[in-house]
Structures are given as C-alpha cells and as structure tokens.
Amino acid sequence: MERIVEKMFYASRWLLAPIYLGLSLALVLLAFKFFQEVFHFLPIVFSVSESELVLGILSMVDMALVAVYW
C-alpha cells in the first residue's frame, strides 16, 4: 500500500508540469514588459515631470517584486 501511494505522489508531479511551464512563460512576458518600460523611460527621463518619473519607477519596482515573489 505504501509503495502505491509513493508511486502516485511521484507520478503526480507531471500534473504540475504544464502549470510550471505556464508560469515560466508568464515570467518571461513580465520581463519583456519590464524592459519595455525601461526603454520607454530612458529617452524621456530628463523631460518628464518628477511625479511621472516616480510613477514609472514604481511600476517597474512593482513588476520586479511580482517576478521575485512569483
């Protein structure tokens, strides 16, 4: 009986594989969005107001924190 339960637990890891693959893809998409935001703010860093710059930085920090804790 114990062997059957162990084999079921071991085999069930494959049920999570598509979920992990989807999460990995979402993390890649989040990284693309982060760098898109960085490249958006680089050329206009000296022409935007301070509040717009802070909001942009906070959105990038938010994306980074989501990526770390995901």
Q: Which domain, by its residues, includes 48?
A: 2-69
Q: What is the pLDDT of residue 60?
A: 92
For 22-31, what is the mean pLDDT?
Answer: 94
What type of residue sits at position 59?
A: S
* Share of residues in the chain with pLDDT > 70 (%): 99
pTM for the model: 0.71
Mean pLDDT of 36-56: 92
Spatial distance between the Cα atoms of 42 and 63, rounded to a whole number of angstroms: 17
d(CA 15, CA 25): 17
The number of domains in the chain is 1
- Mean pLDDT, range 8-25, rounded to an integer: 90
pLDDT band at 42 (very low <50, low <70, confident <90, very high): very high
Instruction: Determine contact, residues 41/52, Cβ cutoff 8 Å.
Output: no
